[in-house]
Amino acid sequence: MVVSMSVLLVREPLDEPAEEGHFNFFPDHFYMELILGLTLMIVLSALATIFPATTGPKADPLVTPEVIKPELIGALGAVFMLSLLLVQQMEIVRKRQETGTRRHAAAVPASSRSCVECHQHTSPGITEHWTGSTHAVKGVGCVDCHLAERKDVDAFDHYGTTIACSSRPNGSTCWTQYHNFHLAQARSPLFGAGGGPIRVDPTGAAGTDVGDEIDIMVNLDLTAHQIILIGFFKLYPGRFIRETGPSVSPELFCLQHQVRW
């Protein structure tokens, strides 16, 4: 809760008439605002201490909720730290390769050999940048990313090949996600999108299993500037949903068209 209060205080000395339209911010208004603010803070702090606002049963520091698994949290923390170290090492190696302190063999595909040979003389900076990239290690050449169609707005003819300066999309991407939802405690309410509780089991007999969600998404690259995203999302209700009301299994289908420059 945020409370704002403003008070305008005008001091009129007894020995001289008040100047109309004149009011000193300091010290009159400043001190009054400071006193009122501190008083209001003390009152609100006292009320919050005497009448604390609670959203559920008081937590017991000696009881670990069933949804918290210390061994799982420790394992995930270790994996997270190892992944950070691995990513840092990969970034160090990449930077060394780009700066020339560490070189690797570049796999030049046949379709891009003439490009690399020409740009080594005309624009060696571009070739050096590609040589130090992951594309060079994996054999991804110039044509693989910059080959375009004549209908593309930024396409042009380059020594008999239609290309574009910007990289071109290649195919589509499909991925899935799995989510498992649990309540913090068995007696905790389930909150909706509006922020208010929509279901609750005061006894805690329904457990904490809210349900499982599966997401399937497909990303289609039409052109360098247009993408279509198709998604399907389905929630399978858990024990808590089944025992606290209508056991619904919502589904969501979305179709999104993106235009970028």
* Cα dihedral across residues 50, 51, 55, 57: positive or negative: positive
Strands (DSSP E) along 103-196, which ranges?
156-158, 161-163, 172-182, 190-191
Q: What is the tens place of the pLDDT at every residue in 233-247?
A: 999 999 999 999 888
Cα–Cα distance for residue pair 238/260, rounded to 1 Å = 40
Question: pLDDT of 159-205, one tens digit each?
Answer: 888 888 766 555 677 888 899 999 988 889 998 878 888 899 999 89
Rounded distance, CA 241 to CA 206, Å?
A: 8
pLDDT in tens, 92-116: 877 776 665 555 677 788 888 888 8
User: How do the domains of the chain map onto residue ranges?
Assistant: 22-50, 103-168, 172-259
Note the pLDDT tens digit of each residue in 23-57: 577 777 788 888 888 998 999 888 888 887 776 67
The token pair at 111 is 């379709």
Contact between 172 and 221 under an 8 Å Cβ cutoff? The reply is yes
